[in-house]
Structures are given as structure tokens and as C-alpha cells.
């Protein structure tokens, strides 16, 4: 059986990673753009709320089950900012270069030990728009903010996120390595366990 699931994202970087991470499963995962679904309004105050809003929106627009990802980076020196506002940190939604430049600017002169940060990824899977029991999974990835951008892989904040266990930025890691370590990979592993518990895999 190959069930179609809508990936409730219009972020090309995420869509690419989900295609890599989900290739082991028997699902057909199609990005919502294939169904001409526009961005949901992210009005929640938590990653969990935003992930549900996105999944519900994609279910409503397509009539199919949907998987959404709300993610971002939490910087300790900034009391957790940009957090759920990561995609619009510098104002314009999804302007990665401006977001990275603003984060580097806000941390200018801050010593290494105070530059700790982590990525979060919350996944929400909903069977239909009125699903009262969405499956929620969470993963995080610890690191710190570099002083300048390094590497060309990945997307978003990857060029300025230092991965201590590898000694380089996450944009310097081969995609297979990021896909083993990342917040998204961990959340997806948790989602798979929840699917198994519900006899869905
Ligand atoms: O692995 C990652 N490597 C680098 N940066 C990342 C990662 N994961 C999330 N991020 C950043 C990108 C964006 O600034 C924000 C997600 O924002 P978020 O609203 O969840 O996604 P989005 O609006 O880009 O696409 P969509 O809502 O259509 O899925 O966190
Ligand atoms: Mg978004």
C-alpha cells in the first residue's frame, strides 16, 4: 500500500530533506505546492500550534492526510529568540541571508561560550482537517552560533550553526550526516515510533 501524504511546507530546503529522510518508507509524500496550497498563517505562539495550523490547512485544502514541520532556532543569549519567528527574524519571511546577518549582528562581540543555540523541529501529522488526535513529534539539535557563515549545504541558519560533535557548521556537513544528526531527523524518528504504536507502519 502506498498512501499519499501531503507535506504541508513550501520551504524547498525542508522538502528536499523530507524526500531524503522519507525515502525508506512506503508513503508517497507530495509537497503541498503540487496541490497549489499556499502558506498557512502561522499565528500560533508555539511550534506545536503552528505545526498543527499548517497540517490542518493542508488537509482542508487537499482532503488528504498531511505532515507539517514548524522549526526554528533558539539562541540562549537572546533569551530564546528568534524561536518561532526564525523565518521572519529580519522582517521579510524566508530571507535567509538577512536573517543570518541580523543574528550575527546581534551576537557581535559575544564570546563563544555564550553563543549556545539549538534548532527545534516539531512535526504534526493529521489524518484529516478535524483530526482530534494529531501525532506530534519533537527533535532538537544543540550547537552554537558561529562568527561568520561557513559552508554551502543545507538551508536557513545552517551556515552559521556550529555542530560541536563534527567541529564545523551544519552547512559544511554532507547531507547524509545532517540527516542523521538534525532536529528534523530526530523528530522524524519519534514520529515513526508513534506511527508504529498506532499500527500505521
Ligand atoms: O535544518 C535547518 N537548518 C537551517 N535552518 C533551519 C532548519 N530548520 C529550520 N530552520 C530555520 C529556517 C527558517 O528560518 C525557520 C523555519 O521556519 P518555518 O515557518 O518552520 O518554515 P518555512 O516558513 O520556511 O516553511 P513552511 O512553513 O512552509 O514549512 O527555521
Ligand atoms: Mg513558515
The total of other beta-carbon atoms located within 10 Å of residue 82's CB is 20
- Cis peptide bond prior to 82, omega within 30° of 0: yes
What atom in ligand 1 is closest to the CA of residue 39? 28
With a 6 A CB cut-off, is 14 part of the ligand 1 pocket? yes
Q: 34, 87, 97, 153: which to mutate for ligand 1, most atoms within 8 A of CB? A: 87
pLDDT of residue 27: 81
Q: How many domains does the chain have?
A: 1
- Determine the structural domain holding residue 191 and report its residue range: 3-198
- Report which secondary-structure segment, H or E, holds 103: helix 96-106
The rounded Cα 13 to chain-centroid distance in angstroms is 9
Ligand nearest to the CA of 47: 1
R_g over Cα of the chain: 17
The Cα–Cα gap between 105 and 145 comes to 11
70 belongs to the catalytic site: yes
Q: ipTM greater than 0.85, yes or no?
A: yes
Q: What is the CATH number of the domain that holds 28?
A: 3.90.950.10
What atom in ligand 1 is closest to the CA of residue 86? 14
pLDDT of residue 138: 98
**pTM over cut 0.95:** yes
Q: Tens place of pLDDT for every residue, the chain, 201 residues?
A: 468 999 999 999 999 999 998 887 778 899 999 999 999 999 999 999 999 999 999 999 999 999 999 999 999 999 999 999 999 999 999 999 999 999 999 999 999 999 999 999 999 999 999 999 999 999 999 999 999 999 999 999 999 999 999 999 999 999 999 999 999 999 999 999 999 999 988
Distance 98 CA to ligand 2 centre (A): 16
pLDDT of residue 3: 82
Ligand nearest to the CA of 94: 1
Cα 190 to Cα 53, 77, 83, 119: the distances in Å are 20, 29, 21, 16
Amino acid at each position: 500500500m502506498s498512501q499519499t501524504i501531503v507535506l504541508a511546507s513550501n520551504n524547498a530546503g525542508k522538502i528536499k530533506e523530507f524526500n531524503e529522510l522519507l525515502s525508506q518508507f512506503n508513503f508517497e509524500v507530495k509537497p503541498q505546492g503540487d496541490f497549489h496550497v499556499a502558506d498557512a498563517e502561522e499565528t500560533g505562539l508555539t511550534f506545536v500550534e503552528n505545526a498543527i495550523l499548517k497540517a490542518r490547512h493542508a488537509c482542508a485544502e487537499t482532503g488528504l492526510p498531511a505532515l507539517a514541520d514548524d522549526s526554528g532556532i533558539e539562541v540562549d543569549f537572546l533569551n530564546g529568540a528568534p524561536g518561532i519567528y526564525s523565518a521572519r527574524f529580519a522582517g521579510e519571511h524566508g530571507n535567509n541571508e538577512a536573517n543570518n546577518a541580523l543574528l550575527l549582528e546581534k551576537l557581535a562581540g559575544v564570546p563563544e561560550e555564550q553563543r549556545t543555540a539549538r534548532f527545534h523541529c516539531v512535526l504534526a501529522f493529521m489524518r484529516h482537517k478535524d483530526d482530534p488526535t494529531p501525532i506530534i513529534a519533537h527533535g532538537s539539535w544543540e550547537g552554537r552560533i558561529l562568527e561568520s557563515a561557513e559552508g554551502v549545504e543545507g538551508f536557513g541558519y545552517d551556515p552559521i550553526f556550529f555542530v560541536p560533535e563534527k567541529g564545523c557548521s551544519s552547512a559544511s556537513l554532507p547531507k547524509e550526516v545532517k540527516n542523521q544528526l538534525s532536529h528534523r531527523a530526530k523528530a522524524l524518528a519519534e514520529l515513526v515510533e508513534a506511527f508504529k504504536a498506532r499500527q500505521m507502519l
